[in-house]
Amino acid sequence: MAVVAQAFGFGISATDVIAGTYLYSLPPATTQGFVQKLQSAFRDGAAQRRTAINSAPAAYYVIQRYLELCLPPRIEAEITKQISAAGAVDVRRGNGALFSLETVSVPSRYLYPGGPLGAGPQSIYLNRDSTTNSSPERRRYPALHDLQRGGYGTGSMSSLRRLARRIEKPNSTDESALSGFSILYAGNDFNRTKQIPMEKALLSLCITAKEIKNPAPAIQDHIDIYHEYIGSTDTTGKLNDTDIRNLLEEKPCEAPHKNFYEKSLFPDGMLTGQTIKFLEKALPGNRLEGPPDLAMIRSQISFVRAVPAVSARLKRRRGNLFDQITPDLISALESL
């Protein structure tokens, strides 16, 4: 597993399960069942998008994402996310003052009314306990107006009501951001329902929360870098519905990554041997100074991008990516 993971760009630490961690203490059978559900959902999603997986980079990207599902950090993150998303409601037991509490999970289809980007109905199929051999049960989740008037159960739904109010009655900040987001959207009629998914997708592209509050054309550079990485020829600097749905499955960026390409190629923040060789072609003495830590070599990346033989081969961008590793930088260095 470790060898395969490293072959697809993951550090060896990604396969280590340290005794005492949360994941290590979980029942193996339960964890395996959870991972199999993730794998099944991923395969279904890949099958639906098979026409878009039409290049070697796109196939590599899909394989890397599938492999990531089996890595301990991702498994623990998914389990933690399920726990964080769970809520509690009181359930009446007969008449009088008797009641009990039950935990409930809020499905992602509710968070984006009508399904992600309005793709599906406002309901979800839930499988009952497999040991009962019962058929799937169709359960309808509350509509926004149900939550606003408090008509759904008697439990604490404050967080969902806040989400409902944000979607139905956004504040002035949301309104002013709509026009900025519309230039980043490849479809028609960008509206408030699509704003939250768009924001989360941009976080996966290493756009900061501050930049998202005031969308600027420079953000389109990050969208272009994403498209270049997955093998798309789209150079419009815009995300379509499929792009957004795929990015919602990605984790937000963390330091030291500054774009999606860096996050995908160097998940642990350390450069690969091949990337070091490329950079050393344009560095003084053909040598990288210091450890190959992405956070510590930004100045050397800036130097390489400024070398005339390199800069002449770089794509013209809307913003300033002076200290970032991008697909066109690697192509330029490869051609030297």
162 and 192 in a single domain? The answer is: no
* pLDDT for position 45: 85
212 and 226 in a single domain? The answer is: yes
* pLDDT for position 35: 84
Degrees, nearest 5: CA angle 89-93-98: 90
Number of DSSP helices (H) and strands (E) in the chain, helices first: 17, 4
Does 96 fall in a domain? no
* pLDDT for position 236: 93
Least confident of 67-71, 166-170, 209-213, 313-317: 166-170
Mean pLDDT of 234-261: 92
249 and 275 in a single domain? The answer is: no
7 and 72 in a single domain? The answer is: yes
User: What is the C-alpha to C-alpha distance for residues 64 and 267, in angstroms, rounded to an integer?
Assistant: 11
More confident site: 254 or 70: 254
179 and 238 in a single domain? The answer is: yes
Does 223 fall in a domain? yes
Q: Looking at the predicted structure, is the pLDDT value of residue 319 above 60?
A: yes
User: What is the C-alpha to C-alpha distance for residues 124 and 310, in angstroms, rounded to an integer?
Assistant: 52
User: What is the C-alpha to C-alpha distance for residues 58 and 149, in angstroms, rounded to an integer?
Assistant: 46
* pLDDT for position 56: 82
Does 259 fall in a domain? no
Kindly indicate the confidence band of residue 97, based on its pLDDT and cuts at 50, 70 and 90. low
15 and 57 in a single domain? The answer is: yes
Least confident of 72-86, 233-247, 317-331: 72-86
Which of 124, 141, 169 terminates a domain? The answer is 169
Which of 124, 140, 169 terminates a domain? The answer is 169
123 and 189 in a single domain? The answer is: no
Q: Which residue has the tokens 């798309």?
A: 232
CB 14 within 8 A of CB 1: no
79: domain range?
Answer: 2-83
Which uninterrupted H or E stretch holds 178? Answer: helix 172-182
pLDDT 10s digits, 188-206: 888 888 888 998 999 999 9
38 and 112 in a single domain? The answer is: no
Alpha-carbon torsion, ordered 163, 45, 71, 4, to 10 deg: -150
User: What is the C-alpha to C-alpha distance for residues 116 and 198, in angstroms, rounded to an integer?
Assistant: 10
Q: Looking at the predicted structure, is the pLDDT value of residue 263 above 70?
A: yes
181 and 223 in a single domain? The answer is: yes
Kindly indicate the confidence band of residue 296, based on its pLDDT and cuts at 50, 70 and 90. very high
More confident site: 189 or 9: 189
Which uninterrupted H or E stretch holds 104? Answer: strand 99-105
Q: Looking at the predicted structure, is the pLDDT value of residue 51 above 70?
A: yes
* pLDDT for position 191: 82
28 and 43 in a single domain? The answer is: yes
Cα 11 to its chain centre, rounded Å, is 19
Kindly indicate the confidence band of residue 157, based on its pLDDT and cuts at 50, 70 and 90. very low
Q: Looking at the predicted structure, is the pLDDT value of residue 138 above 60?
A: no
Kindly indicate the confidence band of residue 277, based on its pLDDT and cuts at 50, 70 and 90. very high
* pLDDT for position 11: 53
> How does DSSP assign 199-266, residue by residue?
HHHHHHTT--HHHHHS--TTHHHHHHHHHHHTT----SS-B-HHHHHHHHTSPPP-TT--SHHHHHH-
Does 282 fall in a domain? yes
* pLDDT for position 318: 86
Domain count, the chain: 4
Does 66 fall in a domain? yes
Q: Looking at the predicted structure, is the pLDDT value of residue 132 above 70?
A: no
Task: Give the contacts of 156 (CB within 8 A, at least 6 positions apart).
Answer: 87, 88, 89
Does 20 fall in a domain? yes
More confident site: 19 or 199: 199
Mean pLDDT of 304-318: 93
Does 6 fall in a domain? yes
CB 259 within 8 A of CB 324: yes
